[in-house]
């Protein structure tokens, strides 16, 4: 954490300096009050009451208050500058680290946990930093200063403080130790709530369509109950600490009053010193109560920092290569490739496949045979378990990730859109593209017509996650984004599943014209989407079961023929005609 604090160390030091100034002004006031009582009111040592002394010392007290307020205000300014900027840096680094993680690491963490890390956990650390500088430093200085001045007033008062402080440290240290694990559990339970919330908001339509509201309420309720149980456990511990601290401090106040009264009655000290001792004791009491409140914030912040530190120390599973991808032909080669998401559970087995430059290859197979997984290995979304993937004769692990992925255009299985205009969503494929290029890409993707029908055309806003568009419209925007990208390899992962056959036929014809010389790889569930490819690769149980043209596979592959008959039947014959 010091790495982030040291960047704003000057602001932190200024905050501490102003805080020390504020504390000094606060600690001066009981001594001035003592002199006002002894010298001004009772006239001890001056021969009688003296309004001049009262006015003089009163002005000094007023000056201390004004200067203390100024120091306190400046402390707040610099505390917030240091805390918020440090939190901002932590948040940016956490977000950058998440973006650097592999798909498998993101999948393992889960959306809810990632959101909690970047939002709630960082906020808890910000609060801890601010409270540490503002609250803990102030309280510690008040406690130490009050104890010092009480010892100066009389060593008997100092002895009482020496007895009380270790008891307070023992009580609060024990509670802090007990609550630390609970706060870690609390953040984990917040992860679960965020995960359920994000899933249910994203899937609200299917929840309503399947009438699953009651089930989801129960699921959320269970997670919420777990959070409540942990929160109550923490509150009980802090509730236990409060009376113990109050008991110690209350006893201290009574002992100071009793000891001071005895000594004042015996003429050992002046009455003003007793008032000062009581004032310092009350200052300590308020400081301890503030410390009790701070402990919850600091405990929670430390628990959050442990989680953030684990994230920031997490090494990306996929390491960057050393070389840029040179301009090439777009050849893709799989050599004895095997892959599994979990150890011992392979999805792909000994894949050997060459996709030639400018070739259009369709990958087909039943659901779960590894079609999407196979294509995800080309841009290194996942790392092969065995074998290697080559682009233009070079292992993809030797390429820089940004360079490799910059040469590949994607239209993924799930059409991800962003809260931006239609044009901006398409321009994600090529940030520097002109409007004419955007319009042309939309026309090729068969998206221009429906975009033009929007009230603001290409400037129409897309709702969050594309909820304002139909499935087919979202797919066409995603395809336009891929078409716009100046790439040597284009990957279409079942990206036409929501299109009708006529629109898909026009799209395929437009892509054939546009992608002359570009390597195109298509994942398809429907034979009508794959039949016009140069080659069709059929996967079964994670292995290549057949490879050839549509006509060749009809003659040589019983599996392909079975798919053909089950999907199309008479419709296939009509389509062929």
Q: For 502-536, how does the pLDDT look when each residue is reduced to its tens digit (9 = 90+)?
A: 898 899 889 888 877 899 999 988 888 888 899 99
Closest by CA position to 112, among listed 211, 187, 203, 166: 187
* C-alpha separations of 30 from 210, 353, 547 in Å: 70, 86, 91
Distance between start and end Cα atoms, the chain: 70
What gap in Å lies between CA 568 and CA 526, rounded to an integer?
9
What gap in Å lies between CA 574 and CA 405, rounded to an integer?
40
pLDDT of 577 reads 42
Beta strands (DSSP E) in 380-441 are 386-391, 394-395, 408-411
DSSP string, 75-88: HHHHHHHHHHHHHH
The SS3 assignment for 449 reads: helix
Which has the minimum average pLDDT: 37-41, 185-189, 385-389, 406-410?
37-41
DSSP string, 128-174: HHHHIIIIIHHHHHHHHHHHHHHHHH-HHHHHHHHHHHHHHHHHHHH
**Residue 46 pLDDT class (50, 70, 90 cuts):** low
pLDDT of 546 reads 93
For residues 51 and 300, the answer to whether their CB atoms sit within 8 Å is no
- Rounded to a whole number of angstroms, the CA Rg of the chain reads 36
Q: How far is CA 544 from the centre of its chain?
A: 40
Q: How far is CA 262 from the centre of its chain?
A: 60
What gap in Å lies between CA 18 and CA 5, rounded to an integer?
18
pLDDT above 50: residue 576:
no
Q: What is the mean pLDDT of residues 476-490?
A: 90
* C-alpha separations of 187 from 113, 116, 181 in Å: 9, 8, 10
pLDDT tens digits for 123-158? 888 888 887 777 777 888 888 888 888 888 778 887
Closest by CA position to 76, among listed 114, 33, 130, 7: 130
pLDDT above 60: residue 315:
yes
* C-alpha separations of 22 from 25, 64, 146, 168 in Å: 5, 9, 14, 24
Q: What are 339's strand-pairing partners?
A: 348
- Which residue did the predictor score with more confidence, 492 or 419? 492
pLDDT of 209 reads 67
Closest by CA position to 141, among listed 260, 354, 355, 291: 291
What gap in Å lies between CA 4 and CA 93, rounded to an integer?
10
pLDDT of 205 reads 65
* C-alpha separations of 67 from 61, 264, 339 in Å: 10, 33, 69
Question: And the tokens for 91?
Answer: 């948040």
Q: How far is CA 517 from the centre of its chain?
A: 42
Beta strands (DSSP E) in 382-478 are 386-391, 394-395, 408-411
Side-chain-facing half-sphere of 383: CA atoms under 13 Å? 16
Domain locations in the chain?
2-312, 332-576
Closest by CA position to 410, among listed 333, 496, 320, 489: 489
pLDDT tens digits for 150-184? 888 778 887 888 888 788 878 877 887 777 778 77
pLDDT above 60: residue 574:
no
pLDDT of 67 reads 93
Q: How far is CA 229 from the centre of its chain?
A: 25
What gap in Å lies between CA 452 and CA 448, rounded to an integer?
6
- Which residue did the predictor score with more confidence, 108 or 426? 426
pLDDT of 250 reads 81
pLDDT of 114 reads 84
What gap in Å lies between CA 314 and CA 312, rounded to an integer?
6
Strands 535-540 and 394-395: unpaired
Closest by CA position to 316, among listed 439, 401, 426: 401
pLDDT of 117 reads 84
| Residue positions counted in the chain | 577
pLDDT above 70: residue 274:
yes
pLDDT of 1 reads 67
Closest by CA position to 537, among listed 319, 360, 339: 360
Question: Taking all residues of the chain, what is their mean pLDDT, rounded to a whole number?
Answer: 84
The sign of the torsion formed by the CA atoms of 304, 305, 307, 311 equals positive
Closest by CA position to 190, among listed 90, 97, 121, 252: 121
pLDDT tens digits for 51-99? 777 787 788 889 888 998 999 899 889 988 888 888 889 999 999 888 8
What gap in Å lies between CA 276 and CA 324, rounded to an integer?
74
**Residue 42 pLDDT class (50, 70, 90 cuts):** low
What gap in Å lies between CA 305 and CA 175, rounded to an integer?
19
> Domain 2-312 class?
mainly alpha
* pTM attached to this predicted model: 0.70
Side-chain-facing half-sphere of 289: CA atoms under 13 Å? 11
Question: And the tokens for 116?
Answer: 């909690």
What gap in Å lies between CA 253 and CA 225, rounded to an integer?
41
pLDDT of 32 reads 78
Q: Which CATH number fits domain 332-576: 3.40.50.300, 3.40.462.20, 3.50.50.60, 2.60.120.330?
A: 3.40.50.300
pLDDT of 554 reads 92
**Residue 49 pLDDT class (50, 70, 90 cuts):** low
pLDDT above 60: residue 571:
no
Q: Which helix (H) or strand (E) holds 489?
A: strand 489-493
Q: What is the mean pLDDT of residues 326-333?
A: 86
pLDDT of 444 reads 93
pLDDT of 523 reads 92
DSSP string, 255-303: HHHHHHHHHHHTTSS-HHHHHHHHHHHHHHHHHHHHHHHHHHHHHHHHH
SS3 content of the chain, % helix, strand, coil (to 5): 65, 10, 20
pLDDT above 50: residue 443:
yes
What percent of the chain stands above pLDDT 70? 95
pLDDT tens digits for 380-414? 988 999 999 999 989 999 998 888 888 899 888 77
Angle between helix 51-100 and 271-312 (nearest 10)? 10
Closest by CA position to 153, among listed 22, 272, 248: 272
Cα dihedral 221/228/179/298 (nearest 10): 100
Question: And the tokens for 505?
Answer: 């036929």
């Amino acid at each position: 954490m010091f790495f982030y604090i040291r960047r704003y160390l000057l602001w932190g030091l200024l905050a501490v300096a102003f805080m020390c100034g504020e504390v000094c002004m606060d600690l001066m006031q009981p001594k001035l009050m003592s002199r006002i009582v002894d010298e001004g009111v009772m006239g001890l040592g001056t021969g009688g009451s003296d309004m001049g002394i009262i006015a003089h010392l009163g002005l000094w007290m007023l000056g201390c208050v004004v200067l203390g307020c100024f120091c306190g205000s400046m402390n707040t300014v610099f505390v917030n500058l240091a805390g918020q900027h440090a939190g901002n840096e932590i948040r940016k680094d956490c977000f950058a680290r998440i973006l650097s993680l592999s798909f498998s690491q993101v999948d393992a963490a889960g959306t809810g946990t990632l959101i909690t890390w970047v939002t709630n956990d960082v906020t808890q650390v910000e609060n801890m930093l601010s409270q540490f500088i503002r609250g803990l430093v102030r309280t510690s200085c008040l406690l130490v200063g009050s104890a010092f001045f009480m010892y100066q007033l009389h060593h008997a008062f100092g002895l009482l403080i020496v007895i009380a402080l270790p008891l307070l440290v023992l009580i609060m240290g024990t509670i802090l130790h007990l609550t630390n694990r609970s706060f870690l559990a609390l953040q984990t339970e917040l992860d679960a709530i965020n995960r359920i919330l994000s899933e249910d908001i994203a899937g609200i339509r299917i929840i309503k369509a399947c009438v699953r509201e009651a089930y989801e309420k129960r699921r959320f309720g269970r997670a919420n109950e777990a959070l409540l149980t942990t929160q109550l456990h923490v509150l009980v511990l802090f509730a236990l600490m409060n009376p113990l601290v109050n008991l110690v401090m209350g006893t201290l106040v009574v002992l100071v009053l009793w000891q001071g009264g005895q000594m004042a009655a015996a003429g050992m000290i002046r009455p003003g010193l007793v008032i000062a001792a009581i004032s310092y004791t009350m200052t300590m009491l308020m400081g301890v109560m503030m410390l009790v409140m701070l402990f919850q914030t600091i405990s929670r912040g430390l628990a959050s920092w442990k989680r953030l530190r684990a994230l920031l120390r997490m090494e990306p599973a996929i390491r960057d290569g050393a070389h840029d991808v040179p301009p090439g032909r777009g050849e893709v080669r799989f050599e004895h490739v095997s892959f599994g998401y979990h150890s011992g559970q392979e999805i792909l087995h000994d894949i050997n496949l060459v996709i030639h430059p400018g070739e259009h290859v369709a990958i087909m197979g039943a659901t779960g045979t590894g079609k999407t997984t196979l294509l995800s290995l080309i841009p290194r979304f996942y790392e092969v378990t065995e074998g290697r993937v080559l682009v233009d004769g070079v292992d993809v692990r030797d390429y820089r990730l940004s360079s490799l992925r910059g040469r590949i255009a994607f239209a993924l299985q799930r059409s991800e859109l962003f809260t931006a205009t239609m044009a901006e969503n398409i321009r994600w494929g090529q940030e520097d593209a002109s409007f004419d290029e955007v319009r042309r890409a939309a026309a090729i993707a068969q998206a221009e017509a429906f975009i033009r029908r929007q009230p603001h055309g290409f400037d129409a806003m897309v709702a969050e996650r594309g909820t304002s568009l139909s499935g087919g419209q979202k797919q066409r925007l995603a395809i336009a984004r891929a078409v716009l990208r100046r790439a040597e390899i284009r990957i279409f992962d079942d990206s036409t599943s929501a299109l009708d056959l006529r629109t898909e036929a026009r799209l395929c014809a437009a892509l054939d014209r546009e992608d002359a010389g570009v390597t195109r790889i298509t994942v398809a569930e429907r034979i009508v989407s794959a039949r016009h490819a140069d080659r069709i690769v059929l996967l079964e149980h994670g292995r290549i079961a057949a490879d050839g043209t549509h006509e060749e596979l009809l003659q040589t592959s019983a599996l392909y023929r079975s798919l053909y008959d089950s999907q199309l039947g008479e419709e296939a014959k009509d389509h062929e005609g």
